[in-house]
Structure 1
Amino acid sequence: MISAALRRALTAPGDPVLRPLPDQVVAMLETVHAPPRLAAHLRAVHDVAAQLTDALADGFPQLPVDRSAVLFGAATHDIGKVLHPQELSGPGSSHEPAGYELLLRHGVAPSLARFARTHASWQQDGIGVDDLLVSLADKVWKGKRVTDLEGLLVDRLADATGRERWSVFLDLDDVLDRIAADADRRLAFQATHPVRDPHGVVDG
């Protein structure tokens, strides 16, 4: 049984229309009774990750990207906020290791669960392209542009393509501008879903 509020967060089309989360993630969010606001946020970031990976596949096919891993990571990156709901509306990083452990307990492979830990750690050494894309989706969904983060991806793109860095930057900047243009509408969609479900579990 899941609440009507969570069901709405998982199924309402949104404006712009947001892709549904992977079935495995939906089932997990229902099992842990995720806050509706969290489900809405994960849908927004997941949708942006899909747009981003599609655009990079078209413009930079030389870049090795595990699209399914990026989409799963975007769909679950903040799942630890189920255990730390105060971090839905305030600062905090306790959800990062908590999310990783929660995913492992639900049978998710460490290679996919890692995004719960790495989405806010993009400045660390050894962070891969897939992790950078999840981190970037988690910023640009709300129109936030982070120069250093984008610069790391530009470096990877330039290495993969052999193109000049400035040329790569201009193309990536266009992609991110297009995605960021819908940020206000995604934020509005997220804001319509409550941080805490006021009605409890009412739907079967």
Structure 2
Amino acid sequence: MNFAELFQKQRIAGFPERLIEHHKLVSGVAVNLAIALRSLGIVTDPERAGLMGAVHDAGKSVVTEELSIPGSAHEAIGREVALRLGLPESISKICCSHSSDTTDELDTEEIVVRLADKLWKGKRDPDFEKQAVQRFSAELGKEDWEVFMNLDKIFESIAESGYERLEATRA
């Protein structure tokens, strides 16, 4: 399934347009982040990261109050919604994992989406970013500080334009 088909299925399923727009933003950031990580030698699949970003909050189509207030009730429901949209478990699982505070049980694309879900609006998450640096450093066989220097530039370049993306969602 491609991105256009997925967003069309979300419209047909009655997802609020605001949620679809959020999915588009996170998906775009996830793809760009995955491409940047790949350029550093980190094994990642930008298309998979993008599809995960495009569906990570699917449960908010059912638990609509969580469109405006924080909550986690949408997570397990979201997995079921994503599966009903025709996505495989390997993509749908992001609905349950995108708010994880640790990288321990996440695959690389789940980490990408977790980061993208903050960075798209200009927010940084130093604790989670540190875990990502440690994970990717181990994968690359490099020192944490080396990987941090590269990732920090990438994260900052994405976060810098977060205000514009956030404002666009309010227009």
Scaled to the shorter chain, the TM-score interval is: over 0.9
Match of 1:98 among 63, 77, 86: 77
Give the deviation of 1:124 after TM superposition: 6.5
User: 1:39 and 1:106 mapped to 2: Cα distance?
Assistant: 14
Determine the structure 2 residue equivalent to 1:190.
Answer: 169
Specify the alignment match of 1:114 in structure 2: 93
Q: How does 1:35-184 map to 2 (within 5 A)?
A: 35-58=16-39, 60-61=40-41, 63-123=42-102, 125-184=104-163
Structure 2 Cα separation of the partners of residues 65 and 157 of structure 1: 11
CA distance in 1, matches of 2:101, 2:62: 23
Structure 1 spans left out of the alignment, 5+ residues? 1-20, 193-204
**Distance (whole Å) between structure 2 residues aligned to residue 147 and residue 122 of structure 1:** 11
Cα distance 1:124–1:172, how it changes in 2: closer, same or farther (>3 A)? closer
Contact kept in structure 2, 1:37 and 1:191, CA below 8 Å? no
* Larger Cα-atom Rg: 1
Q: Distance in 2 between matches of 1:51 and 1:130?
A: 12
Task: Mark the CA change 1:65 to 1:122 in structure 2 (over 3 Å): closer, same or farther.
Answer: farther
- Count of aligned residue pairs for this structure pair: 170
- Percent of matched pairs sharing the same residue: 34
| Aligned equivalents of 1:144, 1:120: Cα separation in 2 | 14
After TM superposition, the score normalised by the length of structure 1 is: 0.79
Q: State the Cα distance separating 1:33 from its structure 2 match.
A: 1.7
- In proportion to residue count, which structure has more helix? 2
Asked whether the 8 Å contact 1:129–1:153 carries over to 2, the reply is no
> CA shift at 1:67, angstroms?
2.0
2:3 to 10, 18, 22: 22
Q: CA RMSD in A?
A: 1.5
Cα distance per residue 1:155-176 (max 9 Å; x no partner): 1221122221111101100011
Q: Which runs of 5+ in 2 are unaligned?
A: none
The structure, 1 or 2, with the larger RCO (C-alpha pairs under 8 Å, 6+ apart) is 1
Question: Does the CA-based 8 Å contact 1:70-1:133 persist in structure 2?
Answer: yes
> Does the 8 A contact of 1:129 with 1:156 survive in 2?
no
Partners of 2:105 and 2:7 in 1: CA distance: 30
Give the direction of change, closer, same or farther, for the CA distance of 1:124–1:166 in structure 2 (3 Å limit). closer
Counterpart Cα distance in 2 of 1:79 and 1:189:
21
Q: Structure 2: how far apart are the matches of 1:176 and 1:30?
A: 31
